[in-house]
Amino acid sequence: MSGMKILQVGSLTVSNDTGWHIAKSVPATLLLGLITQAGAIVWTVSMMMADIQDNQTDIVEFGQRISKVEQLVQNQAVSMARIDVNIEHIRTSVEKMANRDD
């Protein structure tokens, strides 16, 4: 055993020839807790990935809706400009009729 190094920390033992060992004194509840935590982490990550996918879909849908709204706003701006021009022509015609009577 002259070339083999052994390090023991609590109930865990590390040696050069065999790797990690867990002593039999480690409670089963600790192992169960670690497995439960690992499962919870996997579940949490999978739920986050599903939420991210849903958000990406929603973002695409909102982008399409915004494009439609922008088009509608642009069409309304054109209509408003036409209405303004028509009002200006009507105002000019009314002013001309009013000046004739004077």
With b meaning 16 or more CB within 10 Å and e meaning fewer, what string describes 13-32?
eeeeeeeeeeeeeeeeeeee
Residue 9 is encoded by which pair of tokens?
A: 């920390």
Cβ atoms of 12 and 23 closer than 8 Å: yes
Under 8 Å between Cβ of 69 and 61: no
Per-residue pLDDT reduced to its tens digit, 14-70: 555 556 666 677 788 888 999 999 999 999 999 999 999 999 999 999 999 999 999
Quote the pTM value.
0.50
